[in-house]
């Protein structure tokens, strides 16, 4: 049986006693799923996993969701288009993966679509000697601890989740720059959502850039969003992942945000990544 040990007060747990590359029985998958719903972010260390093995393991948690459009307009792994590459490495002058070596600002994945993925899995193959840590934040906690006026200010409101830029600030292929957030292309989501599986309410922010809260002037919306983001990303709500080669991280994309620190552009960082289709169609409005 697997072991589960907490990694930080707010969220995150380490899973022990499992080899992701080997066939995993249903009871173990059920135990991992339960730990994932409880702790939001899971880490499995010391893994050695091929792409087909990572795909097999990922599929145990639901249908794979292919990567969103990257800035270069074609899959990084043509033989596995459902797998994404997160890397700053260039081969022959061309990037072999997404997100480069700069900071990736706080975000949840692909919330610019109506049904964003429920889970992300990220497996580290090469890591820089320092920098490039990833942080996750707990959006149940963020919602539950929201000051009363802020809760009231977002009650029944939606926000736009801009599709134009990725979390590294790079424009996605085919999008024009946004000058007015009210007209940003991308899904409109309720700011408070009921988690489809746990039934708990969480704050659903997506990303800050070009966000806009319905029913307010642009200035009011900006001020409100600044308050919400400052509240939601305070250090007490976060867990910091200091990567080792062979770490597999698996997060609940419905009730967390994440960000990544910049690292030395001369260092190499390589991760392979999958994600699982969302289940928002089954959710009850909060």
Tell me the number of residues near ligand OGA by CB under 6 A.
12
Decide: 123 and 272 in contact? Cβ < 8 Å.
yes
122 interacts with, out of Mn ion, ligand OGA, none, CB within 5 to 8 A per kind: ligand OGA
Q: Based on CB atoms, which residue is closest to ligand OGA, 116 or 181?
A: 116
Q: Does 65 bind Mn ion (CB under 5 A)?
A: no
Task: Give the Cα separation of 257 and 284 in Å (integer).
Answer: 21
> Distance of CA 45 to CAs 54, 78, 125, 243, 248, Å?
14, 28, 12, 9, 6
Q: Based on CB atoms, which residue is closest to ligand OGA, 47 or 134?
A: 134
Q: Does 67 bind ligand OGA (CB under 6 A)?
A: no
Decide: 166 and 98 in contact? Cβ < 8 Å.
yes
| Contact pick of 8, 121, 122, 213 for ligand OGA (by CB under 6 A) | 122
Site for ligand OGA in 161-190 (CB under 6 A): 167
Q: Based on CB atoms, which residue is closest to ligand OGA, 109 or 252?
A: 109
Q: Does 109 bind Mn ion (CB under 5 A)?
A: yes
CA 191-195-198 angle, to 5 degrees, is 150
Decide: 47 and 248 in contact? Cβ < 8 Å.
yes
Site for ligand OGA in 123-142 (CB under 6 A): 134
Instruction: For residue 15, count other CB atoms closer than 10 A to its CB.
Output: 22
Task: Give the Cα separation of 259 and 275 in Å (integer).
Answer: 17
Site for ligand OGA in 209-248 (CB under 6 A): none
Site residues for ligand OGA per CB under 6 A: 86, 99, 104, 109, 120, 122, 134, 167, 258, 260, 271, 273
């Amino acid at each position: 049986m697997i072991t589960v040990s907490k990694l930080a007060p707010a969220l995150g747990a380490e899973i022990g006693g499992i080899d992701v590359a080997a066939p995993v029985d249903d009871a173990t998958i059920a135990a991992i799923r339960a730990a994932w719903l409880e702790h939001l972010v899971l880490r499995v260390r010391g893994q050695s996993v091929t792409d087909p093995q990572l795909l097999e393991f990922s599929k145990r948690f639901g249908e794979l969701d292919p990567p969103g459009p990257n800035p270069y307009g074609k899959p990084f792994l043509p033989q596995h288009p459902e797998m994404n590459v997160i890397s700053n490495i260039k081969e022959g002058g061309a990037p072999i993966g997404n997100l480069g070596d700069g900071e990736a600002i706080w975000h949840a994945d692909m919330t610019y679509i109506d049904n964003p993925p429920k889970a992300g899995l990220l497996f580290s193959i090469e890591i820089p000697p320092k920098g490039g840590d990833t942080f996750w934040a707990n959006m149940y906690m963020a919602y539950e601890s929201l000051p009363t006026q802020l809760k009231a200010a977002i009650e029944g409101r939606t926000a736009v989740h801009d599709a134009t830029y990725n979390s590294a600030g790079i424009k996605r292929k085919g999008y024009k720059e946004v000058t007015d957030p009210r007209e940003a292309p991308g899904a409109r989501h309720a700011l408070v959502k009921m988690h489809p599986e746990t039934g708990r309410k969480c704050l659903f922010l997506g990303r800050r850039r070009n966000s806009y809260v319905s029913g307010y002037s642009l200035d009011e919306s900006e001020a409100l969003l600044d308050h919400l983001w400052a509240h939601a990303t305070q250090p007490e709500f976060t867990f910091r992942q200091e990567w080792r080669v062979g770490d597999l991280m698996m997060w609940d994309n419905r009730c967390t945000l994440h960000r990544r620190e910049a690292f030395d552009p001369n260092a190499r960082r390589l991760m392979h990544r999958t994600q699982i289709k969302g289940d928002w169609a089954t959710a009850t409005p909060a």
